[in-house]
Amino acid sequence: MGLMPYHLEKGHFLLLLEDTLNEGIEVVVDNDAAITFPGLARRYSMLEYMRGVVARPCDLHNGESEVGSSLMWPGWMSDSDVSFGAFRAVAEEWFGYRIRADGTLDTKPHPNKPTGMWDGYQGNVERIMANVFIRSIEVSLGIDHDAPIPTAAPPRSWPLYFFFKCQQPFFEGWVTWQCHSINRRAAGQVTVIFATPGHNHPVSDHPIPIDNNNDHKDDLVPTLRNDGEFQVEPVSAPAADIIGEPHQGVWVITHRDHKRLNVFDTSVPSSYLEWGPPLLPIIAPENFCDVVTVQPAARSGGINEVKPRYVAP
């Protein structure tokens, strides 16, 4: 699963998920008469499975059923980076479940603890994500919610893209879409953004790592790295990766560094009635005129230099 995101996060897992659902879609993009591609079969499979996930009863006190979890979809991709470690991370850190010694899931929510690693938040992350998968696949294929899965060609086949952004108040999935042309089956796009709460790691005030010992890790926030695909002020946005496959990118444009203001002592003595609610601290740039564009490394939320490919389980 990798490390917690710094900026808008893509990372290896979501790139593999995209390839799971998009693999081969270039055929439809290039040829409007083309129908099938490997990712289409997996979309059908995932859609059917996730509809079953959300159809399971959910108990207010006991949470989700222990069987039939979204984690059990047989089509989940698997490679050296996405294996049992990822399964454990999603189950424990995202959904807040416990994995028993026999491998079964204890899904009962703890009433007095945050869900998983999400600071100060409780929620049914699994159900949110399952609904996001359902909705995003339905939108990508142009089929109404809960409509039967097509037996022939779907009305359309748009690519699906996934991101997530941490340090939000709630866990949410945003399913957005854009049709580029109504005349072609694949001339559109679905972009999904998972908004997640933060976990117990700070978010860096600066997009460019401060790496005084040259280990490619920020000295304060190890999830922020300057290796691999990291660039400051990138120039080109290539359509293909270095081996010629269609590709994508993420750039972050922000101030070079930030600071916090208005953190002051509210107990300073004052006269009668001369006080009030304190100002909340605000975040401000260190230099108001200094804006940088950064291409984050894949391990801190960017895009792999070479697109990872779906690996069958």
Site for other proteins, rule CB under 8 A: 60-61, 109, 111-112, 114, 120-124, 169-170, 262, 266-267, 269-273, 275-280, 282
Minimum CB separation of residue 285 from other proteins in Å reads 16
Minimum CB separation of residue 87 from other proteins in Å reads 25
Spatial CB neighbours of 208, under 8 Å, sequence gap ≥ 6: 226, 232, 256, 292, 294
Minimum CB separation of residue 271 from other proteins in Å reads 6
The amino acid sitting at 195 is A
Residue among 228, 217, 120, 238 nearest 169 (CA): 120
Instruction: Identify which of residues 80 and 270 has a Cβ nearer to other proteins in the complex.
Output: 270
On the 0-12 / 13-18 / 19+ scale of CB atoms within 10 A, 181 is: exposed
Minimum CB separation of residue 201 from other proteins in Å reads 17
Instruction: Identify which of residues 60 and 152 has a Cβ nearer to other proteins in the complex.
Output: 60
Instruction: Identify which of residues 272 and 288 has a Cβ nearer to other proteins in the complex.
Output: 272
Instruction: Identify which of residues 199 and 256 has a Cβ nearer to other proteins in the complex.
Output: 199
Half-sphere CA count of 101, side-chain side, radius 13 A: 0
Q: What is the rounded distance in angstroms from the CA atom of residue 189 to the CA atom of residue 246?
A: 15
Q: What is the rounded distance in angstroms from the CA atom of residue 264 to the CA atom of residue 267?
A: 9
Instruction: Identify which of residues 124 and 204 has a Cβ nearer to other proteins in the complex.
Output: 124
Q: What is the rounded distance in angstroms from the CA atom of residue 198 to the CA atom of residue 283?
A: 17
The amino acid sitting at 281 is P
Instruction: Identify which of residues 122 and 254 has a Cβ nearer to other proteins in the complex.
Output: 122
Minimum CB separation of residue 127 from other proteins in Å reads 10
Q: What is the rounded distance in angstroms from the CA atom of residue 245 to the CA atom of residue 22?
A: 13
Minimum CB separation of residue 119 from other proteins in Å reads 10
Strand pairing report for 160-165 and 188-195: parallel
